Every structure is written in C-alpha cells, then in structure tokens.
Amino acid sequence: MQPDPEAHLSMEMVRAEVRMYWGAFASKSEQQLSSLYEPDAVVFGSFSTRREAAPVAMVRRRREYFSADTALRVNVGDIDVRLIGAAAVATYTFTFTATNVGGRRSKANEVIQHGRATQVFQIEGERLHIVHEHLSVAACVT
C-alpha cells in the first residue's frame, strides 16, 4: 500500500486506533485485529526472538491467546504520537495479563508489568493500518 498524500492524519486518530487495537486483542476479535495490519506488516512480539509477518503473528496469537479459556486484561499508558506526513509513530507503555495461555505443553499465565510498544501507522483514505509493530518487556532491576 502506498501512503495517501491527500489523507489527513491526526494524533487523536492514531490514539483511537491504538485503543481499538488493544480492545480487539483483549476481546479476542481476530478478524478486527487482523484488519488493523497492512498485509506485509512486520511484527516483533513481546517475547519474540525474530520478526514475523503480521499474518504469521496472528496465527500464533490465535493459538496462544484467543482460546475460550484464556482471559486477557490490558491497560495502556499515555500514547505519544509523532506525525510524519501520511504516517505516524505511536509509542506507549502497557500492562498485560493472560491466564491459561495456550500453544505450550501446558497452559501458563503471562504477566507483563512493564511493556513497551512502538507501532508505525500509515493512512490510506480514511483507514489507518499498522505497517510495523514492536512490543517488548522492560527488564526491571531493583
């Protein structure tokens, strides 16, 4: 997808898209979440050791997080947005809790107290799409 030079992007549009993203994730709405990504978007998950194409990340998320017995809770911190023409970079912190996470030999719980996110959005027409996403966990030393 090529950026739309006629599209008008605002910081609040990007913040709303970030909130929609986490709302879709927490409600396990795979179709809605998938629609937020550009098909060739690159994703680095919180604990991943390599990049994934967005469709591959969605398959993994379905297996790990979207089963009926998995409960998800997310809180997003302040969302900083930098507008760059027809693109925007959103950076923010988040907390994430998942119980009964699948995709492993046995069900597990996952708690991220100090998550960090960077998402790059591009606008085409009235639609924003994620073209790059990097989620990570801050190592807290006490």
Residue ranges and CATH numbers for the domains of the chain are 11-137 (3.10.450.50)
pLDDT at position 21 over 70 = yes
Residue 26: its pLDDT value, please? Answer: 96
Residues 107-125: pLDDT tens digits?
Answer: 789 999 999 999 999 998 8
> E strands, the chain, where?
37-44, 52-53, 71-76, 80-84, 87-101, 108-124, 127-137
- Using pLDDT thresholds of 50, 70 and 90, give the confidence band for residue 130: very high
pLDDT at position 87 over 90 = yes
Quick one: DSSP state of residue 1?
-
Residue 126: its pLDDT value, please? Answer: 82
**pTM for this predicted structure:** 0.88
Contact residues for 68 (Cβ-Cβ < 8 A; gap 6+) = none
State whether residue 14 is helix, strand or coil. Answer: helix
pLDDT at position 56 over 60 = yes
